[in-house]
């Protein structure tokens, strides 16, 4: 029988602080590999591939489905940062994953983009 991962329920307060908010504010350490005024990228502490990093906005957005129209340029910026980080890390190709909500296994309710690479990735992913 296959193991089914389960995400966490979203917080009652959508502005609730998260571990990623603390990383963005440098309140707790992380292996940061990229940073600009709007976002940062850091290595995942539980990598699912030889290279696994997360890109997060510094602004709190709990999940992609709760983003507002005024977040459009920030969301576009995140998408442009992903290949920049991948290239800096020497990846010829990569997979981008966004988990949105409990049934998609979102475990931290601060928008984050997973960059996975460093090996041939299978399909379907799970």
Q: State the pLDDT at residue 124.
A: 85
> What is the spatial distance between Cα 43 and Cα 26, in angstroms, rounded to a whole number?
15
List Cα–Cα distances, 42 to 11, 38, 57, 72, in angstroms.
Answer: 23, 14, 12, 22
Q: State the pLDDT at residue 9.
A: 61
Whole-prediction pTM value? Answer: 0.88
- Write out pLDDT tens, residues 5-20: 555 566 555 556 899 9
Q: State the pLDDT at residue 119.
A: 96
Which one of 3, 52, 110, 112 is the catalytic residue?
Answer: 112
The pLDDT tens digits along the chain (126 residues) read 343 455 556 655 555 689 999 999 999 999 999 999 999 999 999 999 999 999 999 999 999 999 999 999 999 999 999 999 999 999 999 999 999 999 999 999 999 999 999 999 999 876
Active site residue 114: no
Report the candidate in 64, 50, 52 with the shortest Cα–Cα distance to residue 108: 64
């Amino acid at each position: 029988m296959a193991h089914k991962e389960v995400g966490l329920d979203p917080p009652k307060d959508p502005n609730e602080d998260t571990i990623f908010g603390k990383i963005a504010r440098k309140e707790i350490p992380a292996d940061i590999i990229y940073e600009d005024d709007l976002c940062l990228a850091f290595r995942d502490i539980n990598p699912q591939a030889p290279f696994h990093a997360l890109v997060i906005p510094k602004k709190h957005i709990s999940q992609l489905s709760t983003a507002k129209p005024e977040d459009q340029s920030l969301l576009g910026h995140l998408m442009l940062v992903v290949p920049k980080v991948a290239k800096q890390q020497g990846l010829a190709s990569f997979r981008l994953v966004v988990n949105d909500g409990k049934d998609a296994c979102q475990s931290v309710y601060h928008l984050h983009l997973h960059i996975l690479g460093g090996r041939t990735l299978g399909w379907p992913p799970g």
